[in-house]
Structure 1
Amino acid sequence: MLVLLYHFYDLLVYVVIGIFCLASITSLYSFLAPCVRRLTFGKCRVPNNSLPYFHKHPQVRMLLLALFRVAVSVVWGIFCNEDQWA
């Protein structure tokens, strides 16, 4: 890995950032899911449809949590090199 990083640093740095973003999405779910489950609103489920993930009828609050996790990770991935975000 170190040899690859030495020779292909310009490309592999984006792979490392991508792995970090995936790890942050997972950790945000582990951290925030118990808090979101205690909320009293958003317990309704997604109705029947033909979308791949939604056939399991997830709760609306968990979908909002998923959107939040992805949004945080994407915003950080885009602005990670900005000085004001350091």
Structure 2
Amino acid sequence: MADTSEHADIKDMSFEQALKELEAIVDRLEKGDVELEASILIYERGEALKAHCDSLLRKAEAKVEKISLNANNQPTGTEPLDVED
């Protein structure tokens, strides 16, 4: 895997920006018209983008709360969402 300092710009990307770039990388690699060295470099960047997206998703999941309801299905408050890994 490439040194993370090579991909320092990724840490400032939003989830949507990182996902869009990751999709473009996958598309280029699937077409197969990229030279081997370039394929390795963009694959490594794709791995860094994927890790960033995974991290942002885990943070978002940690913030999600479940609304608790009473017997009449009226909201009574919130509690942390149980997310299975």
TM-score by length of 1: 0.33
Higher strand content, 1 or 2:
2
TM-score by length of 2: 0.33
Higher helix content, 1 or 2:
1
